[in-house]
Amino acid sequence: MDIKILGSGCPKCKSLEKITRQVVEENGIEATMTKVEDIMEIMQFNIMTTPALVVNGKVEVKGRVPSAEEILQILKKHQ
């Protein structure tokens, strides 16, 4: 599974990255996580508000920080 956290490094972006890493570790999910801060790369996903969670190339969440439970449900459907 390929997970990307899109964001410039704002507090919400850091929070999304932290929660996502926790969910991946706690549930033993096989995943590669990447933090994308380059605005040109973020724009390729048609994201206007960050943070955003991209799983296997699909934008799942944008403009907010979801709960750990919501992140887990999103990741489960990609397994």
User: For 7-43, how does the pLDDT look when each residue is reduced to its tens digit (9 = 90+)?
Assistant: 988 899 999 999 999 999 999 999 999 999 999 999 9
Question: How many structural domains are present in the chain?
Answer: 1
pLDDT greater than 90 at residue 48: no
- Encoded amino acid at 20, one letter: T
What pLDDT score was predicted for residue 9? 86
Catalytic residues: 10, 13
**What is the domain range of residue 8?**
2-76
- CATH code (residue 48): 3.40.30.10
Q: Which amino acid, 25?
A: E
Helices (H) and strands (E) in the chain — how many of each? 3, 4
